[in-house]
Amino acid sequence: MYDVIVVGAGPAGCTAAKALVKKGYKVLLVEKFKMPRYKSCSGVLIKKSMELVKKYFGEAVPESAMCTPTDNRGMVFTNDTGKEYRFEQEGLNVWRSHFDGWLAGKAEESGAEVMDGVVALSCTEKDGFVEVGLHGQKNFTEGARYVIDCEGVVGTLKRQIARQYAGKNTGEVPRYMTTYQTFNEGSIDLDPHYFYAYLQPELSEYDAWFNVKDDLLVLGVSVKDMEKSDIIMEASLPIWKRSTTCGSAGRRKRKSG
Ligand SMILES: Cc1cc2nc3c(=O)[nH]c(=O)nc-3n(C[C@H](O)[C@H](O)[C@H](O)COP(=O)(O)OP(=O)(O)OC[C@H]3O[C@@H](n4cnc5c(N)ncnc54)[C@H](O)[C@@H]3O)c2cc1C
């Protein structure tokens, strides 16, 4: 029996696990993917995030989690009319896989039990504890006094709870959008130290973005329907190409999440 089961080994889950262990609680941290896992993210840590890492983990983000250019200098935001706004701020460019893997390692080092490749499927309130239904190599259960849901936006437990409560009030099933990123080889006229966000409808159904990670040009779009992500990305490529020389031929990897 644990004091707390934390579901999800992203920044929230790893930080919660680490802080609770420090207070003397017996903690289990479960993560559905094998660490280090991919997370759809631009991986720019703002100053506040870096300060929180120092506060809860007692040290700065290690070089092993960083990517080039390591210093992010802010954001350039273009609204739906094409007007550009610049926000200057100090930030750090990281690969989320390595950053989150490091955080989980630190939580484990401090005494949390970490199970990766294990998904939480259910929570059932029993007499004085919560039984968490888990699935790794096989189905099993663990008990805890408390469960903290740190599943991020895409989570089995969160969807169950959202459906239960949203259904009660409005009858509506929660809807999600999909983010889709491609990692491209090529060159660009934009400053790689900045994160670029675009609200132009011709680029994406919600927003589109661009940044540079270890010499890869990252193009991202958000879509309502995951099936359409390829089509939307392909349609926007000629527009991206006005400022980049990358394209389908230079495409290396594609990820959605
Ligand atoms: C495209 C995109 C770009 C972004 N760019 C930035 C950025 O540049 N800078 C920034 O600060 N933020 C950025 N964000 C936001 C950032 O990714 C989130 O705020 C952050 O990841 C939230 O952390 P978290 O720990 O709550 O959840 P997550 O990081 O999502 O972690 C949740 C974890 O829980 C696991 N999990 C889910 N369900 C279960 C389950 N049932 N059982 C076990 N494990 C489970 C998941 O696999 C995951 O590892 C971006 C988000 C997106 C989508």
Residues 6+ apart with CB under 8 A from 146: 3, 4, 5, 130
Closest residue by Cα to atom 35, ligand 1, is 8
Hey, what's the torsion of the CAs at 122, 125, 128, 132, to 10 degrees?
0
State residue 28's pLDDT score.
98
Taking the centre of ligand 1 as the mean of its atom positions, its distance from the CA of residue 143, in whole angstroms, is 25
Closest residue by Cα to atom 16, ligand 1, is 41
Per residue in 20-53, pLDDT tens?
999 999 999 999 999 999 998 999 999 999 999 9
Question: Which CATH number covers residue 17?
Answer: 3.50.50.60
Taking the centre of ligand 1 as the mean of its atom positions, its distance from the CA of residue 153, in whole angstroms, is 7
Closest residue by Cα to atom 29, ligand 1, is 10
**156 and 99 in a common domain:** yes
**37 and 104 in a common domain:** yes
150 lines ligand 1 (CB under 6 A): yes
State residue 153's pLDDT score.
83
98 lines ligand 1 (CB under 6 A): no
**132 and 193 in a common domain:** no
155 lines ligand 1 (CB under 6 A): yes
Taking the centre of ligand 1 as the mean of its atom positions, its distance from the CA of residue 197, in whole angstroms, is 19
* 53 found inside a domain: no
Closest residue by Cα to atom 33, ligand 1, is 8
- Domain assignment of residue 11, given as a range: 2-43+95-169
Cα-based distances in Å from 160 to 171, 179, 233 = 14, 22, 31
30 lines ligand 1 (CB under 6 A): yes
Which domain-ending residue is among 146, 169, 192?
169
* 51 found inside a domain: no
* 136 found inside a domain: yes
The number of distinct structural domains making up the chain is 2
Question: What order do you get walking across the sheet with 27-31 strand by strand?
Answer: 113-116, 27-31, 2-7, 139-149, 130-135, 119-125
DSSP helix/strand/coil, 219 = strand
State residue 242's pLDDT score.
53
8 lines ligand 1 (CB under 6 A): yes
Per residue in 191-233, pLDDT tens?
999 999 999 888 888 889 999 999 899 999 888 876 776 777 7
- Cα separation, 8 vs 30, in Å, equals 6
State residue 13's pLDDT score.
98
**237 and 192 in a common domain:** yes
Closest residue by Cα to atom 47, ligand 1, is 32
| Helical pair 11-22 and 96-109, crossing angle rounded to 10 deg | 20
For the chain, residues with pLDDT lower than 50 are 245-257
Whether this prediction's pTM lies above 0.95 is answered by no
**184 and 236 in a common domain:** yes
Nearest atom within ligand 1 for CA of residue 44: 8
**249 and 184 in a common domain:** yes
**135 and 12 in a common domain:** yes
Question: Which CATH number covers residue 192?
Answer: 3.30.9.10
* 209 found inside a domain: yes
